[in-house]
Structure formats: structure tokens, C-alpha cells
Amino acid sequence: MNGSKGRIAIVGAGPAGMAAALAAIRLGFDVTLFERAKEIRAAGNILNLWPPPQKVLKLIGVDTEDLGAPCHTYFENSRGKRRADVQLPAEVEAEYGGGFIGLLRWGLYQRMIDAIPPGVVKLDHQLTHIEDKGNSVRLKFANGLSHDADVLIGADGINSFVRKHLWGNRPIRHQRLHLVGGYLFLDEEPQGVGILAHNRTTQVSYTPIRHEGKWGYEWWVLEACDPDAPPPEDLIGFCRTRAKGFSKTVRDLIEATPLEHMQRWEIRDRPPLKAWSKGRITLVGDAAHPTSPYAAYGAGMSIEDGYFVARELDAVSLSDTAAVRSALVAFETRRIPHTVQITQGAYFTGKIFHHCPAFLRPLRDWVFDNTPFLQKMVGDEMPAHILSQLAEIEDCEPYVPVHKRVKEPAL
Ligand SMILES: Cc1cc2nc3c(=O)[nH]c(=O)nc-3n(C[C@H](O)[C@H](O)[C@H](O)COP(=O)(O)OP(=O)(O)OC[C@H]3O[C@@H](n4cnc5c(N)ncnc54)[C@H](O)[C@@H]3O)c2cc1C
């Protein structure tokens, strides 16, 4: 292994791949990060991050100072009746700049790119072939180049080539939902409050954002759609119509947003896998567990995956195939239960809000408006997941970057 701790190849330079690369580099591995595009590009515009990914970003050397706008989140109905308060403990809010932060996706990518040493990222490398040779993995790319590594981490997103190689071509799950998201900048600092509001069929929500020293807001409109129908041609008109009856604040934000700051996505994920890795190959991020935006946690969990996979590999010698195997099993054993709970929770939340039969919607909304059901479902449960992840990250041995390690004196 040329004197290094071993060669880790990562495919896909999204949040999962960049986090895995940064975590592994700081533990002394020889890391190469392959990306098919000619430059690293943020897929999408708006983003929120919970405290666990913020904690991981700090640990792996990403500058998180002033990364996003602090935000306390409430669920409401479209007329402003409060249904749930997503309440993180005060000390967590204090440590993580409000806890849930709002930012632009590119702001996160730029901070992660800045932390990666030169020479690690290989652009214009689309993975097209994988051969697990037992004691190493050989990768081949569309540009004709090849690369050998001790471990391959597939961070190549929802349509992962690595996932397909390991587990075959399983169907995508169309959630029959679409989301239009937009953002705008403002001169003054917004209130640190995010409102996730629903009427009988539609969600129209907003949170404050911070991006490169500028304040602003992001907002989104989410509702059921027919995946075979053509997308709306007039995005502003579409959002304006859907936001009727919601607060003036969100309607004004939509009206003030430039068209070039709006984007539409159809929401898709995949049913959870029972296992992620085989031999010397594993998956992280959307390649392992594509997640509906209802959790606002897909990028966050991807960043956590990158941290934990590097930690597990740090405990073994990459020249020992059985030990690599046990490290990858330990990684997925730790991560699968958490990611399944979040991805399935997000999937079913989308169903409850947008695919409930019309005759049941008044009853559903009465329950949401008049009982603690939604508080339990989202207001209490999500903070419980967040606290358990923070504790899990803390429970790992102290994370000492390789250049700061002091050799134990020989006994
Ligand atoms: C509308 C919307 C809103 C969202 N909001 C939030 C939010 O608020 N908070 C949150 O945490 N998450 C959010 N998410 C989820 C989040 O965007 C994803 O979970 C996250 O981007 C996954 O990161 P990733 O690195 O695993 O995959 P990706 O970001 O998809 O990156 C995969 C990378 O792999 C590269 N690649 C693919 N195939 C190959 C190949 N064969 N060879 C080489 N490279 C390859 C791609 O070019 C890409 O760069 C949202 C998602 C959507 C759609």
C-alpha cells in the first residue's frame, strides 16, 4: 500500500462523496474522488441542515462559520394555526447557530470544495466498469482511464452505478409529488423563524437563509402531481395560485423572487436496501438511501455517512479483506436503521399530507389542528433523531486528524 494507510476511491462529488473524502483524508488514507461532470456542481438551490451534519462538517475540517441562517421551525395550517414546534434543546440551538439552518446548496458545496486538498478530485471521470479482484477493486471510466483501490465508496446519487453493480436495477419510487423551490436576498436580517404550512392539498413553506454573507429567504411549494403530465410552464403563476390562502409573508416572498432563482423537482426515492456493501465496495448518501425532501435530511445523512464509513475503515488494515468486510458491515449496521427511519418517515409524511383520500382530509386536518398528533410525529420525533445522532457522533473516539496524532512511546 505504498506506506499509506490504504487507497480509498470515492465515486461522486456530492455532499456524501466530499464528506467521505474529507473524513478519510484526515485519517491518513490515500483518497481519490472521481466525478463524472467537468466541474463540481450543486444539484439544486435551497437547503436546510440539521445539527449532526453541521457537527460532522466541523470535525472533517469544513469552515461552518456563518454557513446558514439560524431557524426555529413550526408547522402550521395555511391560516396560521400552530400545529407543531420543532423544539431542539436550548444548548443545541446555541451551539449550532439556531440548530436547523437555512442556506443555499452552492454555499455548502463551496465550503466543502475549499477544504479538499489539491489533486484529490478527478473531474470528467464517469465510472463505467467495476471489478472486485478480491484484494483490491479496479475501476474503469468513460474517458478510457482506470484506477485500482483497496476500497470503493459509491457516492454517485439516486441513479448510482455502484448500487446497480452491487444490487441490480431495482425500481425507483415515484412519490407522485413535485416541489418548486425559490430564494431571494434581502437587505436586512430576517427573523430566525421557519414556517412549514399546509392546507388540504399543498405545502407552502419558508425559512431564512444566509449565503456568502447575505441574508434572505428560501421557500417551496409542494403538492401531488402526475409524473406523466407535462411540468407547469409558468412557475411563478403556478406558485402564486397554490399560495392563495397562505400567509402574506410567503406570498410576498414568492412575488419578489426572480424566475432564475426558482427550480422544480419531481420527488423520487427508492425503497430501502437491506444491505449496502459487498466485498470491498460500499454505498453512501443517496446511492444508499435516496430521501424525500420532507425530512430535509438527505444531504445531512449523506454527510454523516461519509464520516462514519471513514471511522469504521480507520479501525482496520485495508490489506486484510476480512477486516475490510467487517468494517463495512459495522458501517451499514450502524447506519441502516437510522436512514430507514428517516427515509420511510419522510415518504409516509408526504403521503399523509398529499395523498390522503379527499373524504378523509377534513378529519386529518381536525386531528392536526386540535390534538398533539403532529407535535409527536414531527415536533418531538425529529429532535429525538437529531439528539441521538449527535450522541452517536460524540460516542466515536475523539476524532484526531492524522497530522495531530502523537505516536505512543514503545513500552
Ligand atoms: C428539492 C429537494 C430539496 C432537498 N432539500 C434538502 C434539505 O433541505 N436538506 C437535506 O439535507 N437534504 C435535502 N435534499 C436531499 C439532498 O439533496 C440529497 O440527499 C443529497 O444531494 C444527496 O447527496 P449525494 O452526495 O449522496 O448525491 P448527489 O448530490 O446526487 O451527488 C452524486 C454525485 O455523483 C456524480 N455521479 C453520478 N454518477 C456517476 C458516475 N457513474 N461516475 C462518476 N460520478 C457520478 C454526480 O454527478 C453527482 O455529482 C433535497 C432534495 C431535493 C430534491
Give me the mean pLDDT over the 271-287 stretch: 97
**Does position 382 have pLDDT exceeding 60, yes or no?**
yes
Distance of alpha carbon 388 from alpha carbon 411, whole angstroms: 38
C-alpha 272 – ligand 1 centre gap (Å): 16
**Does position 407 have pLDDT exceeding 70, yes or no?**
no
pLDDT digits (tens, 9 = 90+) for 287-310: 999 998 988 999 999 999 999 999
**Closest atom of ligand 1 to CA, residue 48:** 8
Give me the mean pLDDT over the 157-186 stretch: 96
For the chain, list the domains and their CATH numbers.
7-173+269-401 (3.50.50.60)
**Does position 330 have pLDDT exceeding 70, yes or no?**
yes
**Does position 225 have pLDDT exceeding 80, yes or no?**
yes
Residue 43 banded pLDDT, cuts 50, 70, 90: confident
Determine the pLDDT at residue 130.
98
Q: Which of 391, 171, 179 is nearest to 295 (CA)?
A: 179
C-alpha 68 – ligand 1 centre gap (Å): 19
To the nearest whole percent, how much of the chain has pLDDT over 70? 96
C-alpha 263 – ligand 1 centre gap (Å): 15
How far is the CA of 34 from the CAs of 158, 265, 390, in angstroms?
16, 25, 29
Asked if residue 54 has its Cβ within 6 Å of ligand 1, the reply is no
Distance of alpha carbon 124 from alpha carbon 374, whole angstroms: 46
pLDDT digits (tens, 9 = 90+) for 353-364: 999 999 999 999
**Closest atom of ligand 1 to CA, residue 263:** 1
Cβ proximity of 392 and 59 under 8 Å: no
Give me the mean pLDDT over the 22-44 stretch: 95
C-alpha 251 – ligand 1 centre gap (Å): 29
